[in-house]
Structure 1
Amino acid sequence: LTSLLLWGNQFSGGIPQELGHLVNLESLDLSANKLMGSIPNAFGNLTKLPILNLFNNQLSGHVPRELGSLVNLEVLGLNNNTLMGSIPNTFGNLTKLTSLLLWGNQFSGGIPQELGHLVNLESLDLSANKLMGSIPNAFGNLTKLPILNLFNNQLSGHVPRELGSLVNLEVLGLNNNTLMGSIPNTFGNLTKLTSLLLWGNQFSGGIPQELGHLVNLESLDLSANKLMGSIPNAFGNLTKLPILNLFNNQLSGHVPRELGSLVNLEVLGLNNNTLMGSIPNTFGNLTKLTSLLLWGNQFSGGIPQELGHLVNLESLDLSANKLMGSIPNAFGNLTKLPTLQLWRNQLSGCIPRELGSLVSLEDLDLSTNKLTGSIPNTLGNLTKLTTLYLNDNQFYGHVPKETGSLMNLKYLQIDGNNLSGPLPPDLCAGGMLKRLTAHGNNLNGPLPSSLVNCKSLVRVRLESNKIEGDISEMGVYPNLVYIDMSSNKLFGQLSYHWGGCHNLTMLRISNNNLAGEIPTSLGQLSGLRILDLSSNKLEGEIPSALGNLRELFNLSLAVNLFHGSIPREIGAMSSLELLDLSSNNLNGLAQDSIKNCLRLRLLKLNNNNFKGNIPAELGLLRNLHDLLDLSENSFTGAIPSQLSGLVMLDTLNLSHNELNGSIPSSFQYMRSLTTIDLSYNELEGPVPDSKVFQGASVQQFMHNKMLCGVVKGLPPCNSAIQSRGGREGYKILVLATVPALISLVVVAVLLMFCHERKKPKETNTDKVTQAITFSIWSVDGANVFKQIIEATNNFSEMHCIGIGGYGSVYKAKLATREIFAVKKIHMIEDGCCLNETVFNREIESLMKIRHRNIIKLFGYCSSSQGRFLIYEYMEGGDLAKTLKDNKRAIELDWRRRIHIMLDVVHALAYMHHDCSTPIVHRDITSNNILLNLEFRACISDFGTAKILNIDGRNHTRLAGTKGYLAPELAYTENMTEKCDVYSFGVLVLELFMGSHPGDFLSSLSLANKINVVCLQDLLDPRLVIPDAETARRIYCMLSVAAQCLEPRPSHRPTARQASDELSTTKACGDHVDYLHAGITFPAL
Structure 2
Amino acid sequence: MPSSDSIYLVILVWITTIIIINHVGSANTSSVAKPQSPTLAQEAKALNQTLWWWWRRNEVTTSNLCMWDGIVCNDGGSVIEINLTYTIWYENAMSGKFNLNVVGRYQEVEFRNFSFSSFPNLVRFKLAGMGLYGSIPLEIGSVSKLTYLNLSGNSLSGELPLSLAKLTQLEKLDISFNQMSGPIPLQLGNLSSLVELYLAGNYFSGTTPSTLGLLTCLTHLDLHSNQINGTIPSEIYNLKNLTALHLGTNSLIGQISSKIGKLKNLVSLDLSNNTLTGPLFHTLTNLRSLVKLNLGGNNLFGPLPYELSRLTRLQYLNLSSNKLSGRISTNLENLVHLSVLDLSLNKLSGPLPTQLTNLYSLEQLLLSHNNLTGSIPRVAYPFKLTTIDLSHNLFSGEIPPQLGNLSFLQYLNLSHNNFTGNIPPNLVFRGEMDLSYNSLTGPLPEGFYDCFGPETIMGNKDLCYKINISGFSYCFGSPHSNIGSTSTKNAIKWIILPIVISFIFLLLGIVLPSRQKIIENTGSECKAKRNGDIFSIWNYDGNIAFEDIITATEDFDIRYCIGTGGYGSVYRAMLPSGKVIALKKLHHLESQEPAFDKSFRNEAKVLSKVRHRNIVKLYGYCLHKRCMFLVYEYMEKGSLFYAISNEVKAKELDWKKRVNIIKGIANALSYLHHDCIPTIIHRDLTTSNILLNSELEAFVADFGIARPLNPDSSNLTTLAGTYGYIAPELAYTMIVNEKCDVYSFGVVVLETAMGRHPGELISSLASSSAQHIMLKDVLDPRLSPHVNQTIAQNVVLVVTLALACLRSNPKSRPTMKHVSQEILVRKPPLPKPFYEISMWELMNQEIYLVDKN
Work out whether the TM-score is over 0.5: yes
**CA 1:481/1:285 → structure 2, altered by over 3 Å: closer, same or farther?**
same
The alpha-carbon deviation at position 328 of structure 1 amounts to 2.2
Q: Tell me which residue corresponds to 2:344.
A: 486
CA distance in 1, matches of 2:401, 2:164: 62
The 3 A distance-change label for structure 1 pair 215 and 860 is farther
**Secondary structure at 1:296 match in 2:** coil
Alignment of 1:175-186 (within 5 A): 183=55, 185-186=57-58
**Counterpart code for 1:448:** P
Q: Is this contact kept in 2: 1:269–1:294, CA < 8 A?
A: yes
- Counterpart among 780, 783, 799 of residue 1045 in structure 1: 799
Match in the other structure for 1:567: 422
1:621-632, aligned counterparts within 5 Å?
A: none
Deviations 1:124-153 (A, max 9, x none): xxxxxxxxxxxxxxxxxxxxxxxxxxxxxx
**1-structure distance, mates of 2:706, 2:425:** 31
1:989–1:824: structure 2 CA closer, same or farther, 3 Å change rule?
Answer: same
- The amino acid that maps onto 1:959 is Y
- Find the counterpart in structure 2 of residue 195 from structure 1: 67
Counterpart selection for 1:959 from 718, 725, 728: 725
Query: Match for 1:370: what amino acid?
Result: Q
Counterpart of 2:429, as a letter, is S
Cα deviation 1:93-117 (Å, max 9, x = unaligned): xxxxxxxxxxxxxxxxxxxxxxxxx
Shift of 1:372: 2.3
Q: Which amino acid aligns with 1:980?
A: F
Alignment of 1:395-414 (within 5 A): 395-414=252-271
Q: CA deviation at 1:392?
A: 1.8
Residue 291 (structure 2) aligned to one of 401, 412, 434: 434
What SS class does the counterpart of residue 284 from structure 2 fall into?
Answer: coil
Partner residue of 1:507 out of 353, 360, 365: 365
Query: 2:285 is paired with a residue of what secondary structure?
Result: coil
Q: Of the candidates 1005, 1008, 1013, which is equivalent to residue 779 of structure 2?
A: 1005
Whether the 8 Å CA contact 1:491–1:512 is kept in 2: the answer is: yes
Higher strand share: 1
Distance 1:605 1:858 in 2: 30
Q: Which moved more, 1:374-383 or 1:546-555?
A: 546-555
Cα deviation, 1:434-457, whole Å, max 9, x if unaligned, reads: 221112222234433431242222
* Kept in 2: contact 1:911–1:920 (CA 8 A): yes
RMSD between aligned residues: 6.2
Q: Give the Å deviation of 1:365.
A: 1.0
Match of 1:739 among 504, 509, 516: 509
Closer, same or farther: CA 844–275 of 1 in aligned 2, 3 Å: same
Q: State the 1:251 CA deviation.
A: 5.1
Structure 1 residues 534 and 958: CA distance shift in structure 2, 3 A: closer
Aligned pairs for 1:803-882 within 5 A: 805=565, 807-808=567-568, 876-878=633-635, 880=637
2:84 paired with 1:221 = yes
Q: 2:434 matched to which residue of 1?
A: 579
**Contact in 2 for aligned 1:426/1:449 (Cα 8 Å):** no
Deviations 1:874-922 (A, max 9, x none): 6x4347459999xxxxxxxxxx999999876554434455678976645
Cα distance in structure 2, aligned partners of 1:308 and 1:380: 22
Greater gyration radius: 1
Alpha-carbon distance, 1:389 to partner: 0.9
Instruction: Please name the residue that 1:589 is paired with.
Output: 441
What are the within-5 Å matches in structure 2 for residues 1020-1039 of structure 1? 1039=793
**Which residues of 2 match residues 298-697 of structure 1 at below 5 A?**
298-476=155-333, 477-512=335-370, 514-521=372-379, 523-525=381-383, 527-532=385-390, 534-536=392-394, 538=395, 540-549=397-406, 551=409, 553-556=411-414, 558-559=416-417, 565-569=420-424, 572-575=427-430, 577-580=432-435, 582=437, 586=439, 589-592=441-444, 596=448, 598-599=451-452, 602-603=455-456, 606=459, 615=464
- C-alpha distance 491-950 of structure 1, shift in aligned 2 (>3 A): same
Moved more, 466-475 or 360-369: 466-475
Matching of residue 923 in structure 1 with residue 675 in structure 2? no
Structure 1 residue runs without a partner (length 5+): 1-166, 171-179, 200-213, 229-245, 625-638, 643-730, 748-762, 770-778, 812-818, 886-895, 962-972, 991-1000, 1016-1034, 1070-1077
- Asked if the contact 1:312–1:334 (Cα under 8 Å) also holds between the matched residues in 2, the reply is yes
Which residue among 102, 110, 121 is the counterpart of 1:264? 121
Task: Compute the displacement of 1:429 (Å).
Answer: 2.6
Q: Identify, as 1 or 2, the structure richer in helix.
A: 2
Q: CA deviation at 1:498?
A: 0.7
Q: 1:284 and 1:448, CA in 2 relative to 1: closer, same or farther beyond 3 A?
A: farther
How many correspondences in the alignment? 656
* Maintained 8 Å contact 1:906/1:1059: yes
Q: State whether residues 400 and 424 of structure 2, in contact with CA within 8 Å, keep that contact through their aligned partners in structure 1.
A: no
Q: 1:440, 1:463 within 8 Å by CA — same for their partners in 2?
A: yes
Q: Secondary structure at the match of 2:355?
A: helix
- State the secondary structure of the residue aligned to 1:572: coil
Q: Is the 8 A contact 2:397 2:421 kept in 1?
A: no
- CA–CA separation in structure 1 for the residues paired with 2:561 and 2:349: 48
Letter in structure 1 aligned against 2:184: I
Q: Which has the higher contact order (CA 8 A, sep 6+)?
A: 2
Deviation digits for residues 67-118 of structure 1, max 9, x if unmatched? xxxxxxxxxxxxxxxxxxxxxxxxxxxxxxxxxxxxxxxxxxxxxxxxxxxx
Q: 1: distance between equivalents of 2:242 and 2:414?
A: 38
TM-score, structure 2 length as denominator?
0.60
The aligned amino acid for 2:787 is V
CA distance in 1, matches of 2:784, 2:273: 22
Give the CA deviation at 1:412.
1.0
Q: TM-score, normalised by structure 1?
A: 0.49
Residues 389 and 1056 of structure 1, relative CA distance in 2, 3 Å threshold? same
Task: Say if 1:910 and 1:295 are closer, same or farther in 2 by CA, change over 3 A.
Answer: same
Given that residues 1010 and 1080 in structure 1 are in contact (C-alpha distance below 8 angstroms), is that contact kept between their aligned partners in structure 2? no
SS of the residue corresponding to residue 348 of structure 1 reads: strand
Secondary structure class of the residue paired with 1:554: strand
**Structure 2 Cα separation of the partners of residues 458 and 250 of structure 1:** 41
Q: 1:786: Cα distance to partner?
A: 9.1
The residue matched to 1:354 in structure 2 has which SS?
helix
Shift of 1:225: 7.2
Does the 8 Å contact 1:1044/1:1053 carry over to 2? no
Q: What is the letter of the counterpart of residue 782 of structure 1? A: G
Using the TM superposition, give the Cα deviation of residue 589 of structure 1 relative to its aligned residue in structure 2, in angstroms. Answer: 1.0
2:331 counterpart SS class: coil
Partner of 1:279: 136
Residues 709-728 of structure 1 aligned to structure 2 (within 5 Å): none
- State the Cα deviation string for residues 156-195 of structure 1 (Å, max 9, x = none): xxxxxxxxxxx9xx9xxxxxxxxx9974744657542423
AA partner of residue 200 (structure 2): W
Are the aligned partners of 1:397 and 1:419 in contact in 2 as well (CA < 8 Å)?
Answer: yes
Contact 1:900-1:935 at 8 Å conserved across structures = yes
Q: Match for 1:400: what amino acid?
A: S
CA distance in 2, matches of 1:489, 1:839: 49
For the Cα contact (< 8 Å) 1:343–1:369, is it kept in 2?
Answer: yes
Deviation at 1:539, TM superposition (A): 5.2
Q: Which amino acid aligns with 2:719?
A: R
Q: 1:736 to 1:515 in 2, by over 3 A?
A: closer
CA distance in 1: counterparts of 2:570 and 2:456, whole angstroms = 26
Shift of 1:391: 1.2
The question of whether the paired residues in 2 share the 8 Å contact of 1:1045 and 1:1082 is answered with no
CA distance in structure 2 between the partners assigned to 1:828 and 1:273 by the alignment: 58
Q: Residue 231 of structure 2 aligns to which amino acid in structure 1?
A: S
Deviations 1:817-852 (A, max 9, x none): xx99999699999x9989x9x999999999998878
Q: Using a 3 Å threshold, how does the CA distance of structure 1 residues 1056 and 570 change in structure 2: closer, same or farther?
A: same
Give the 3 Å change call, closer, same or farther, for CA 1064–590 of structure 1 in structure 2.
closer
Indicate conservation of the 8 Å contact 1:574/1:599, yes or no.
Answer: no
Contact 1:296 1:321 (C-alpha < 8 Å) held by counterparts: yes
Q: Closer, same or farther in 2 for the Cα pair 1:450/1:409, shift >3 Å?
A: farther
Distance 1:424 1:1083 in 2: 35
Contact 1:556–1:580 (8 Å) recurs in 2: yes
C-alpha deviation, 1:1065, in angstroms: 6.3
CA distance in 2, matches of 1:518, 1:215: 70
